[in-house]
Structure 1
Amino acid sequence: MNSPNELFAALMDDAGCSRSALARDILELARARGHKDVRCDHVDVGRWLNGMTPRGEKPALIAEALGRRLGRALSLSDLGFAGGRPLALALSFSESRDATIRTTQMLWTEDLKRSEFLRMAVSGGALTTPMARWLVSPPADPPYGTHASRRVGIDDVDAIRATLRMFERLDHQFGGGHARSAAVQYLSDAVTPLLHGSYTDAIGRELFSVAAQFTYKTGAMAYDVGVHGLARRYFVQALSLAHASGDRPLGGKVLALMSHQANYLGEYQDAVDLARGAALGARGQATPRIRAMYAAMEARGLASIGDKRACLRMMKQAEMNFGQSAGADEPAWIEYFDEAELQDELAHCFTALRAPRDAERHANLALGESSGLHPRSRTFCRLSLATSYLDAGDLPRACDTAIEAVEAAGRIKSARVRRYVSVFDRRLDDFGRQRSITEFRERAQTLMATAS
């Protein structure tokens, strides 16, 4: 039996709003938003007051309708709905552009409020339905926007893109924990009004594309600091935004990020499935470098499963596709996947396959090509290299390389960096007490204490 929703009841009292009046407000908003199938009356409001949780579009409509009467924005937590079905907020793919805008706006608002339910665990299997719906969804209608007075132009889009690049640099250099909150604030304050603005088809597609990129980057920051359930909500919303932009390869990029995270969390088959979904959904539209990235993600999952033959096949495909990218017209968002990134992915695959010589070769190639502007990536690569030395039986060299990694990491705020170091440290337990191990652990202790 449901318990009365005291928060919702108190807000209705504060607003001096009857059940019938709220139902009318919700219906008016629904019609204005084009949701002609929404039904609501005083009986529904009574059920919500008695503890039932509204579904579909209704939570957002309730928050807006009651918020207007109170003169302030309301969140799901404010309404007392966060303990029920809205726990699934932002975990559903949507073909509706209007629904996507409302859900992403609510996600950013709840994130800024630090709503605890957003940080609850979300399984890799929960991403199967959004992936499947994206795969079978028809092309999005042109994003003409609303009839709002705010006219969005290319300068607005360029401003978002430039800000995104700034946050990407901060993330690469200092970790996801350094500026994630500021990124969410920017999405809420600067991007939301533009999504609600008026724009041409061409500008609208660019706007939704850069909004998708900004959203998945913010999700990747959450992933980097270990808030995985929140990251997955951002990724799902980025998938919906990418769909609204009409960019299938960009949607595949989001699935590739989901695959990367699933592999990190030990959900290896989910990682393979998500990478395959990315390639399938973008088939015929993805450029060579994008196809190489998809293949590399699938190879990572296959390596973790231990399917060496399939992994080697996908690594070869990744190299072949990347080789075809020379001179190709590639989108700006795939520029990060350069020679260093490809070699690093291959090194990680060979590390998982316990093939130390191949892992060493590719890790050194990656380090030779990579930039000092990406210390986190170089830390991961050095620790992969250190692991290859360990697998080859060269303990002193492994520890020396791992020390280089932790010293270069500095104060990067990254749970992933700490985990890489911890995994390597546990491997050292098999080697007893040796001077090189002691020295590494003394150096690593400082990083583990400060990089939070």
Structure 2
Amino acid sequence: MAIVQRWTGRDAKMLRAALRLSVRDFATMLGVGARTVSKWEARGQGITPTPDMQAILDTALTRAPEDARHRFRLSQKTVSSADTAAAPARLNDGVPSFQVSAAQAAEDIEVFTASDLAARRASLIGLRPLSGAPLVRQIRQWAALVPTVPVRAGEVGEQELAELEQAVMFFRRWDASGKGGLHRKAVIGQLNAVTETLGDRSGTDLDHRRFQVVAELAQLAGWMTYDSGAFGLAQRYYLLALQACRQAGAVELGAKVIGDMTQLSTALGNYDDSLTLTRTALAIVPREGNPLVRSELLGLEARAHAQLGPSEAGNARRAVEACFEVFHAAAPGQHVDWIHYMNWAEVECLAANAHTEMALREPEPKRALVHAGHAEAHTFGAIDSRGGTYARSRILDQIRLGKVRLAQSEPGEAADIGLRALEQAGTMRSSVVVKWLNGLATPLADRYGDVRAVGELKTAVAAFQPATDAGQRDV
């Protein structure tokens, strides 16, 4: 008889996920109230069911189909690994494969999300991100396998699925407000729940539409996880999103996900990876594809060129010009919700990022000031155009202006702008904001440590970071 040494709420939740039952159906099977099951799942490791319930759970596991027992054991193994010091190394081996069936892809995502929901964040934050050849190999494999002609899902009238699509839009606006990272697990819980529905095969059109929702949720989970500082875990969600994109035939969404991955590579300082990924993504988006996707990728390519030094400045400028040119070709109907943020302000900030990096890396002062002048103009263009709902983006616009002032050798003004951005951030808990603040404060302190405002900024950022880390501990 297969038994668990001591059942906890977390174990019960993993069994329910393995059986692919709703809370109500699982409670009915066990002969308890749905509230009892919900309490177990909410308290996780902190609750142990009664001895009678321990025996009932053992019986439920024993009577479960073999595939469900396999899913349960896999979840236990993953979570157990995450709870040990060796977790990052073990989980690092669990990179998803793109050469799997739709059913296996759904199971991979369901098991991974269930493990994330059950595990402590502190044990997962050290998961190592891929870089260099292993990362590039994964992305090129996906590009080779994804359908060359996007699959167009038919009109399916299921109200439940339409409501799920609306929920994804809601989660995106939640994130745009700057507070998405605090509610990361709400998105992952929704992703896990939607993936469970993929076990019910209901026709090709519906399958594609479901996988599209899963891909969009996995992409958003990746971004929110990145914004909470767990880079390796974020990368796994992006790879799972690509897995779902392949099943949905969502080529353009997949290219956008690769663009998100370049931002992660850039944050890690792997600029060669960023350039390779953007070029791979651009190669799979057809010329007649969504101009907003291509425009963003060109902007990311421009920044990657700029970060590789003055020898790449010409390529960076050409990519910036192409970014604007392609953006202007977008028609109103091409503003799909998963790239809702790609507006004029975003194009301006992509250009500003590239010119700022060129200015900071240019050894010839006059040429550096020319780059800084372009960066300043584009930064003000972004600030003037930014919509009111994008709270985090408005803070990043201010920090970007501070970096422009650094490039213009105006340390006092740069530090003052940084302090105002810090005040504007308030209680926002965003790893991206913290990294950008450090990206301004550190070079300012290195070059102009004797300027009083610079010292104040460095101290304030140092105090802000621990508070952010504490606020994200349980997301």
TM-score of the aligned structures, taking structure 1 as reference length: 0.78
Aligned residue among 419, 422, 440 for 2:457? 440
Aligned residue among 379, 391, 402 for 1:363? 379
User: 1:220-369 residue pairs with structure 2 within 5 A?
Assistant: 220-284=223-287, 286-306=289-309, 307-327=312-332, 329-354=334-359, 355-369=371-385
User: 1:127-166 residue pairs with structure 2 within 5 A?
Assistant: 127-137=135-145, 139=147, 154-166=158-170
User: What's the offset of the Cα at 1:433?
Assistant: 2.6
Q: Identify the range of structure 1 (282-291 vs 219-228) with the bigger mean alpha-carbon deviation.
A: 282-291
User: 1:170-181 residue pairs with structure 2 within 5 A?
Assistant: 170-181=174-185
Please list the CA deviations of residues 377-423 of structure 1 after superposition, one character each: whole Å capped at 9, or x if unmatched: 12222111111112212223212221221111111111221121122
The answer to whether residue 402 in structure 2 is matched with residue 386 in structure 1 is yes
Gaps of 5+ in 2: 6-18, 20-63, 360-370, 470-475
Number of aligned residue pairs: 388
User: What's the offset of the Cα at 1:180?
Assistant: 0.5
User: What's the offset of the Cα at 1:117?
Assistant: 5.9
Q: Which residue of 2 aligns with 1:122?
A: 129
Q: Identify the range of structure 1 (365-374 vs 437-446) with the bigger mean alpha-carbon deviation.
A: 437-446
Q: Which residue of 2 aligns with 1:204?
A: 207
Amino acid of the residue matched to residue 452 of structure 2?
A: R
C-alpha separation in 2, matches of 1:103 and 1:292: 32
User: What's the offset of the Cα at 1:167?
Assistant: 2.0
The answer to whether residue 221 in structure 2 is matched with residue 218 in structure 1 is yes
Amino acid of the residue matched to residue 454 of structure 2?
A: I
User: What's the offset of the Cα at 1:224?
Assistant: 1.2
Q: Which residue of 2 aligns with 1:75?
A: 76
Residues 171 and 178 in structure 1, CA contact (< 8 A), matched pair in contact too: no
Q: Identify the range of structure 1 (349-358 vs 427-436) with the bigger mean alpha-carbon deviation.
A: 427-436
Gaps of 5+ in 1: 1-10, 16-28, 30-62, 145-151
Counterpart secondary structure, 2:202: coil
Counterpart secondary structure, 2:135: helix
Residues 359 and 384 in structure 1, CA contact (< 8 A), matched pair in contact too: no
Q: What is the root-mean-square deviation of aligned Cα atoms in Å?
A: 3.1
**Aligned sequence identity (%):** 25
C-alpha separation in 2, matches of 1:80 and 1:395: 47
Amino acid of the residue matched to residue 448 of structure 1?
A: Q
Residues 292 and 334 in structure 2, CA contact (< 8 A), matched pair in contact too: no
User: What's the offset of the Cα at 1:168?
Assistant: 1.8
Classify 1:175/1:69 alpha carbon distance in 2 versus 1 (closer, same or farther; 3 Å): closer
More helix by share: 2
Q: Which residue of 2 aligns with 1:55?
A: none
Counterpart secondary structure, 1:98: helix
Amino acid of the residue matched to residue 372 of structure 2?
A: P
User: What's the offset of the Cα at 1:328?
Assistant: 5.1
Residues 64 and 74 in structure 1, CA contact (< 8 A), matched pair in contact too: no
Amino acid of the residue matched to residue 89 of structure 1?
A: G
